[in-house]
Amino acid sequence: MKLFSLCAALAVCLSSVAVAELPAPLVDNYYNIGKIHQQVSTDNREAQLWFDRGLAMCYGFNHEEAIRCFDKAVALDPQLAIAYAMKAYAMGPNFNNMEITRDTMLAADSVSKTSLEHLEQASPLERMVIEAIDKRSGESVPEDFDQRGPFNQAYADAMAKAYAEHGDSPFVAELYAESLMNLQPWKHWSVDGKPGEQTPTIVEVIERGLAAQPNHAGLCHMYVHVMEASPTPGKALPAANRLRTAVPGSGHLVHMPTHIDVLVGDYASVVKSNSEAIEVDKVFLDREGPLNFFSLYRLHNYHFLVYGAMFDGQSQQALAAARAINQQVPEEMLKEQVDFLDAFMPTTFHVMVRFGRWDDILNEPTPPEYLPMSRAVRLYARTLAYAATERVEQAEAEQQKFLEAVKLVPESSLLFQNTSLDILGIAEAMVAGEIAYRKGEYDQAFAHLREAVRRDDALNYDEPWGWMQPARHALGALLLEQGHYAESEAVYREDLARHPKNPWALHGLVESLVKQGKEREAAQYVDDLEASCQRADVTINRSCYCRLKVLDE
């Protein structure tokens, strides 16, 4: 294959993903919950409806809305014990938010005790669930979140008994699986692919439930979460696909399939489904406003959309979604929850680095002082911008400012499952490598960039990944520029194993093979490369815009 053939393979389509028409997010002036239904012990049809709505909100992790639904259910039927219990459940911990205040846990316990007062009205299945939920809290619940293990374990043990008696109920199966997931939140698989202590049971319970009721939204949701960090995330793709339209009024459930899409290299679906989820959640935003915990899930949709669009070469989509993140959170909330929200705010800088918008980076304003992570990321991006435009002295000066800014980022600052400091550790190695490279210190530069890759790989599992542009893309690009074709080939193969079908690494792999005279092997990837570039609005002619000499030249 001639070198110019590779260039032809890089031709890109300037279109973006069109968002399909959304299913109606509202039905009967309420969020469309699809076919979610769990028959409970009431003759009041309205109470049953509000229970089902509350359950749907629980499955979609909108627990505040679920509480309102269960309140309406018990207002219509004050004897409905399971509705009190599920309200207590919604007030308690879940693996995305285990740090529930003691006051809230005590309030949940009070509601749970009310459910026990009406136990005689409950079915045998409901009684076992009610009694299990009551194990999660009590007067002795400690203030320290790390000391609550016995309560979470007691709940899981009680749900195990409920499952032993009522394992054919998907309602019970979902609660049991989730109770086990709370014992090891976001640690269902090790980095080397070994299952966590509870993982085999979780998978068995969910798969048994899905075999009987494959469209159950709660089980599909949990299956995506338990399988996404596994060596075989694609096993959850059928469940993810069924979930896409199962609950049209739950933005989080519309979004959830993209946790699998991104792992199998379907970046178009990542963009599409998160765009749809954003539209669905605008209905909730219009009704309830932004001052609620669910705003974190809304931000997650935008963040995930950015991540997918960056991989897909859709610079305009990525930049628009990144800009929108900053518009979703009122300043009041941002200041109150700065440890949890700060790391979202500089997403625009990651997009600009991805697409080599060096001048735009230098023109971006400084974030306010109460956002230390945002300020540090800005300085990281500015350092790269100066380095990539061969202004080494300015890059070194900016690097020193960056290192000082990192010292101001508290250990409590997080981006989901990773600390901001761990994420900035990758940035630190990246800027050191880029500056050394511009100074002609190539061995030192590559050592720094390999360290950036090591730190990138060492992050806790998360989706989107904590570092938004794989460090291998910079390492591979600069190895190619210096003629280290065999090593760059290995780097790109490793990246494609982690991020399948991404055009940046595919381009680098094809070029690495061609440079080594492996045209026949390179030809095997050209169709994949062309397909992966179809939605890009930029020419993908290198895996990182830090590389200055490109193939076209």
Average pLDDT value for the chain: 95
Tokens of 139: 């007067």
Name beta bridge partners: 30.
27
What average pLDDT score do residues 281-306 get?
96
DSSP state of 24: P
Residue 552 has a pLDDT of 52
Q: Which amino acid is residue 424, in one-letter code?
A: L
Give the CB-side neighbour count of residue 281, counting CA atoms within 13 A: 28
d(CA 371, CA 364): 15
Name beta bridge partners: 415.
418
The residue among 553 and 544 whose pLDDT is bigger is 544
Which residues have a Cβ under 8 Å from the Cβ of 508 and sit 6 or more positions away? 473, 476, 477, 480, 488, 491, 492, 495, 542, 543
pLDDT tens per residue, range 102-116: 999 999 999 999 999
Q: Is 306 left (phi over 0), alpha (psi -120 to 50) or beta?
A: alpha
Residue 551 has a pLDDT of 62
- pLDDT confidence of 24, banded at 50, 70, 90? confident
**Is the pLDDT at 17 greater than 50, yes or no?**
no
Residue 148 has a pLDDT of 96
33-188+196-202 and 334-469 in the same fold: yes
d(CA 111, CA 174): 22
> 27 phi and psi, to 5 degrees?
-135, 130
E strands in 352-493: 414-415, 418-419
d(CA 536, CA 504): 11
d(CA 22, CA 25): 8
Tokens of 394: 């300015």
Task: Write down the residue that tokens 């609660």 correspond to.
Answer: 175
Q: Is residue 253 within 8 Å of residue 59, measured between CB atoms?
A: yes
d(CA 450, CA 484): 14
Residue 333 has a pLDDT of 95
Q: Is the pTM of this model over 0.85?
A: yes
pLDDT tens per residue, range 311-341: 999 999 999 999 999 999 999 999 999 999 9
Tell me how long the chain is: 553
**Is the pLDDT at 443 greater than 60, yes or no?**
yes
Fold entry, domain 1-16+474-553: 1.25.40
**Is the pLDDT at 508 greater than 80, yes or no?**
yes
- pLDDT confidence of 369, banded at 50, 70, 90? very high
Tell whether domain 334-469 is in CATH 3.90.400: no
d(CA 186, CA 411): 20
Assign 94 to helix, strand or coil: strand
Tokens of 383: 């350092």
Assign 415 to helix, strand or coil: strand
Helix (H) or strand (E) holding 61: none
Tell whether domain 33-188+196-202 is in CATH 1.25.40.10: yes
pLDDT tens per residue, range 371-388: 999 999 999 999 999 999
Is the torsion defined by CA of 142, 112, 98, 202 positive or negative?
positive
pLDDT tens per residue, range 251-264: 999 999 999 999 99
Q: Domain-by-domain residue ranges, the chain?
A: 1-16+474-553, 33-188+196-202, 334-469
Tokens of 88: 């207590």
Q: Is residue 478 within 8 Å of residue 546, measured between CB atoms?
A: yes
Residue 487 has a pLDDT of 98
pLDDT tens per residue, range 223-233: 999 999 999 99
Residue 550 has a pLDDT of 83
d(CA 223, CA 289): 30
d(CA 195, CA 258): 22
Tokens of 16: 């973006």
d(CA 448, CA 435): 10
d(CA 278, CA 251): 7
**Is the pLDDT at 167 greater than 50, yes or no?**
yes
d(CA 38, CA 57): 13
Tokens of 479: 């190895």
Assign 177 to helix, strand or coil: helix
Q: Is residue 70 within 8 Å of residue 84, measured between CB atoms?
A: yes
**Is the pLDDT at 507 greater than 80, yes or no?**
yes
- pLDDT over 70, % of the chain: 95
- pLDDT confidence of 22, banded at 50, 70, 90? low
